Amino acid sequence: MTAAPSADEVRLEIDQHVARVTLDRPHVLNAVGAKTLQHLNEVWERIESDPGVRVVVVTGEGDRAFCTGADMSAEETDRTGLEYWAALDPNGFGGLSLRTTLDVPVIARVNGYALGGGMEMVLGCDIVVAADHAQFGLTEPRVGRVPLDGGVTQLVRRLPHTQAMGLLLTGRRVSAAELAGMGLVNEVVPAEQLDEAVDRWVAGVLACAPTSLRAIKQMVQRTAHLTSQEARTTRLPALMAALDSEDSREGVRAFREKRPPNWPGH
């Protein structure tokens, strides 16, 4: 197992092809400030450059909050709304909500509040597993702000119009069960079963060929503006690699030999 040193209370641990990213700021309910954002982007870049990472789990420290959005300290609130908008990270909140270069599956382990930018980070994940006490919400309008880091634009693409607007235009908090009913949460479990549930999803991802999953993520992230026919013929780097990979050959061998595959990852 390798671990990155704690940097502004963001932890990265990599073990057995699994990268675990933890916002370790429980004193502010894992809110993200400017320095935290910088270190999160460094973490995502490190993961992107590590071919051994096959799945990412992102969470918050403690049992109260996944992430409650922007750190509402004086440093953050001194900026005007226009200044905040002009300085938005192109990768979205936490460097994740709008990121299109992270080609490995990302699982959100939602252990509590996921509000504002925290919910935007959830929208940047591929699989969402939540404790039954978790609450979600794009609460920015209730403090005179706008969910600009993917909250508005992603939610209306992921949900029926009235469901998305019902959340956006009230800024209300919703339970994990309600969001699961809308289709934005994959599984809701009691808090004491959260790690077990996340581990099941991790195992499911690791059972698949890493090259196949990278190809799938690139196709999803980089072809949304295309028709299905156009997307199918786009020569994405990960797709080309997957179609002529040792993984694809190992998958066929394992199927014929009636054994689990041992993915080389290339």
φ/ψ of 229, rounded to 5, equals: -65, -40
Please give the Cα distance from 192 to 194 (Å, whole number).
Answer: 6
Based on the residue annotation, tell me whether 61 is a catalytic residue of this protein.
Answer: no
Integer Rg of the chain from CA: 19
Based on the residue annotation, tell me whether 83 is a catalytic residue of this protein.
Answer: no
CB 114 within 8 A of CB 136: yes
Please give the Cα distance from 198 to 127 (Å, whole number).
Answer: 10
End-to-end CA distance of the chain: 21
Give the active site residue among 120, 192, 246, 250.
Answer: 120
Please give the Cα distance from 225 to 228 (Å, whole number).
Answer: 9
Please give the Cα distance from 194 to 107 (Å, whole number).
Answer: 12
Give the active site residue among 13, 48, 140, 196.
Answer: 140
Please give the Cα distance from 9 to 22 (Å, whole number).
Answer: 8
Q: Provide the annotated active-site residues.
A: 120, 140
